[in-house]
Structure 1
Amino acid sequence: MKNSALSEYVKTALLTAIIFLLTFVPNIGYIPINPVINVTIIHVPVIIGSIVLGSKKGAFLGFMFGITSFIKNTFFSTSAMSFVFNPLFHISTGYYAGALYALVICFVPRILAGVFPYYVYTALKKKITNVGALLTAGVAGSMTNTILVMGLIGILFKNEYTQMLGEKAANGVFAFIGATILTNGLAEAAVAAILSATVAKALLVMKKRS
Structure 2
Amino acid sequence: MFKENLQVRKITIIGMLGAISVVLGMTPLGFIPVGTVNATIMHIPVIIGGILEGPIAGMLVGLIFGIFSLIRSITTPTPVSFVFWNPLVSIVPRILIGLVAYYVYTTAKKIIKNETLSVAISAILGTLTNTVGVLSMIYILYGTKFVEKLGLDPSSAGKVIFGIGVTNGIPEMIVSALIVTGVVKGLKLTKR
Q: Please give the TM-score of this superposition, normalised by the length of structure 1.
A: 0.85
Runs of 4+ in 1 over 3 A off after TM superposition: none
Letter of the 1:33 counterpart: V
Instruction: Provide the residue aligned with 1:42 in structure 2.
Output: 42
1:141 counterpart = 2:140: no
Name the SS of the counterpart of 1:166 in structure 2. Answer: coil
Report the CA distance between 1:165 and its aligned residue: 2.2
Instruction: Provide the residue aligned with 2:140 in structure 1.
Output: 155
Change (3 A) 1:170 1:108: closer
Query: Residue 148 of structure 2 contacts residue 154 of structure 2 at CA under 8 Å; is this kept in 1?
Result: no
Change (3 A) 1:137 1:60: same
Measure, in 1, the Cα distance between the counterparts of 2:167 and 2:90. 22
Report the CA distance between 1:152 and its aligned residue: 0.7
Identity %: 35
Match of 1:119 among 73, 89, 103: 103
Measure, in 2, the Cα distance between the counterparts of 1:33 and 1:192. 17
Report the CA distance between 1:81 and its aligned residue: 2.0
Change (3 A) 1:70 1:42: same
Instruction: Provide the residue aligned with 1:105 in structure 2.
Output: 89
Measure, in 1, the Cα distance between the counterparts of 2:124 and 2:132. 12
Query: Residue 144 of structure 2 contacts residue 155 of structure 2 at CA under 8 Å; is this kept in 1?
Result: no
Instruction: Provide the residue aligned with 2:57 in structure 1.
Output: 57
Measure, in 2, the Cα distance between the counterparts of 1:20 and 1:51. 20
Report the CA distance between 1:170 and its aligned residue: 6.7
Measure, in 2, the Cα distance between the counterparts of 1:118 and 1:175. 31
Q: CA offsets, 1:97-131, max 9 Å, x none? A: xxxxx111111100001110100010011322211
Measure, in 2, the Cα distance between the counterparts of 1:170 and 1:154. 11
Unmatched 5+ stretches in structure 2: none
Unmatched 5+ stretches in structure 1: 87-101
Count of paired positions: 189
Q: Please give the TM-score of this superposition, normalised by the length of structure 2.
A: 0.93
Task: Supply the RMSD in Å over aligned alpha carbons.
Answer: 1.4
Instruction: Provide the residue aligned with 2:22 in structure 1.
Output: 20
Report the CA distance between 1:80 and its aligned residue: 2.2
Change (3 A) 1:59 1:165: same
Letter of the 2:133 counterpart: L
